[in-house]
């Protein structure tokens, strides 16, 4: 039997329960995985709260990012073997496989081999963040050497990955965070500039940093009313790319400004990239090479036990951390 986190109604962290369930048997192209570490993502808080981009059937499970070891294989398992260490990715669309668990049956198509030498807490923390940042900023956003890019919520997992990727490419990341207490951690990650949006005027600071030109690309997980301020930081033909909804409010679209300066607001998710083997492999190779040589890293802010999932979600939503929140079964 497995320990599994489920929720029977949407709401705050308190709706999460740890239950004992049969993990099930792996079918064709599946494996039973013993989970060693779980990376938490803000999308899971949105799903639990009932404001994710799809509504889960209840009772529902959570979690798409974890690392563990294969303990049993179903038919058609290819070159996978019992004992292989794996990382999960949320392949197949918007339905999460539910890796908040001690054991879980997962599709082999959604697995990556865990890089040798990568500790479980790191292995459960890097792939969603770095895949999202690479796919959004580089593959889709076309970020190039020498370009400025604004990265709101820069102390989040994806934000830190975006800062590191932008710096690695020779772009100039402007990290936006609410308060200046996280500024040094963002500079340490590679941010060329840090703007504390509750203490400074973002538009004025971006104008100063870019000599009044603005930026072509903003990679934003917040949306909400602050989107209007972000639009004002764009240069002509600029793009506000939204990959999340942390504000949980409608994004303001300044129609007249957008028409006058040919501005674009677009959404992004990485599922088409992850479901394309060639694109996923290219992203994996790029990211892993830099994790291996130390150019990329993901700070782990705090580790919780699976039984403390309620507190883990409260901490996740407090926005006080830098990096990833992790659970261990």
Same domain, yes or no: 258 and 135: yes
Residue 83 belongs to a domain with what CATH number? 3.90.180.10
| β partners of residue 327 | 38, 304
| Pairwise CA distance, residues 313 & 302, whole Å | 11
Same domain, yes or no: 67 and 17: yes
Same domain, yes or no: 22 and 48: yes
Domain coverage including residue 95: 2-125+300-328
Same domain, yes or no: 153 and 263: yes
| Pairwise CA distance, residues 166 & 172, whole Å | 7
Domain stop point among 243, 267, 291: 267
Same domain, yes or no: 204 and 109: no
Same domain, yes or no: 101 and 135: no
Looking at the domain assignment, is residue 195 inside a domain?
yes
pLDDT at 302 over 90: yes
| Pairwise CA distance, residues 312 & 258, whole Å | 39
Same domain, yes or no: 99 and 153: no
- Rounded-to-10 torsion of CA 281, 284, 290, 295: 140
> How would DSSP label each residue in 12-39?
SGGGEEEEEE------TTEEEEEEEEEE
| β partners of residue 208 | none
Tens of pLDDT along 246-274? 777 778 888 899 899 999 999 999 888 98
Tens of pLDDT along 137-190? 999 999 999 999 999 999 999 999 999 999 999 999 999 999 999 999 999 999
Residue (of 37, 65, 190) closest to 127 by Cα position: 65
Looking at the domain assignment, is residue 294 inside a domain?
no
**Cβ neighbours for 119, distance < 8 A, ≥ 6 positions apart:** none
Looking at the domain assignment, is residue 163 inside a domain?
yes
Looking at the domain assignment, is residue 43 inside a domain?
yes
Looking at the domain assignment, is residue 280 inside a domain?
no
Same domain, yes or no: 219 and 251: yes
Residue (of 156, 134, 167, 174) closest to 222 by Cα position: 156
Looking at the domain assignment, is residue 276 inside a domain?
no
Q: Which has the minimum average pLDDT: 40-44, 90-94, 300-304?
A: 90-94
pLDDT at 305 over 90: yes
Same domain, yes or no: 152 and 113: no
Q: Is 3 exposed, middle or buried (0-12, 13-18, 19+ CB in 10 A)?
A: middle
Looking at the domain assignment, is residue 248 inside a domain?
yes
Same domain, yes or no: 22 and 69: yes
| Pairwise CA distance, residues 138 & 203, whole Å | 24
Looking at the domain assignment, is residue 63 inside a domain?
yes
Same domain, yes or no: 116 and 158: no
Residue 144 belongs to a domain with what CATH number? 3.40.50.720
Q: Do the strands 148-151 and 215-220 form a parallel or antiparallel pair, or are they unpaired?
A: parallel
Same domain, yes or no: 75 and 135: no
Q: How many domains does the chain have?
A: 2
- Find the helix or strand (DSSP H, E) in which 327 lies: strand 324-328
């Amino acid at each position: 039997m497995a320990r599994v986190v489920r929720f029977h109604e949407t709401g705050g962290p308190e709706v999460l329960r740890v239950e004992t369930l049969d993990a099930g048997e792996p079918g064709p192209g599946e494996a039973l995985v013993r989970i060693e570490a779980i990376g938490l993502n803000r999308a899971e808080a949105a799903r639990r709260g009932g404001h994710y981009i799809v509504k889960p059937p209840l009772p529902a499970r959570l979690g798409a990012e974890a690392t563990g070891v294969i303990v049993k294989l179903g038919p058609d398992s290819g070159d996978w073997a019992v004992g292989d260490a794996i990382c999960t990715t949320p392949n197949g669309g918007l339905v999460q496989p539910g890796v908040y668990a001690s054991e879980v049956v997962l599709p082999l198509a959604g697995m990556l081999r865990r890089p040798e030498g990568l500790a479980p807490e790191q292995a459960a923390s890097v792939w969603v963040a770095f895949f999202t940042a690479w796919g959004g900023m580089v593959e889709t956003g076309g970020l190039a050497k020498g370009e400025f890019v604004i990265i709101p919520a820069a102390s989040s997992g994806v934000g830190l990955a975006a800062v590191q990727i932008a710096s690695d490419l020779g772009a100039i990341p402007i990290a936006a965070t609410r308060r200046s207490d996280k500024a040094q951690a963002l500079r340490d990650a590679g941010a060329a500039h840090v703007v504390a949006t509750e203490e400074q005027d973002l538009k004025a600071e971006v104008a100063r940093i870019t000599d009044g030109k603005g930026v072509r690309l903003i990679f934003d997980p917040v949306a909400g009313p602050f989107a209007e301020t972000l639009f004002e930081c764009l240069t002509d033909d600029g793009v506000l790319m939204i990959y999340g909804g942390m504000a949980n409010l409608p994004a303001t679209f300044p129609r007249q400004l957008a028409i006058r300066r040919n501005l674009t607001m677009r959404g992004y998710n990485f599922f088409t990239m992850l479901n394309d083997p060639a694109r996923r492999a290219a992203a994996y190779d790029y990211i892993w090479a830099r994790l291996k040589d130390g150019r990329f890293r993901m700070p782990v802010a705090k580790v919780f036990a699976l039984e403390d999932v309620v507190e883990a979600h409260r901490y996740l939503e407090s926005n006080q951390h830098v990096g990833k929140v992790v659970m261990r079964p």
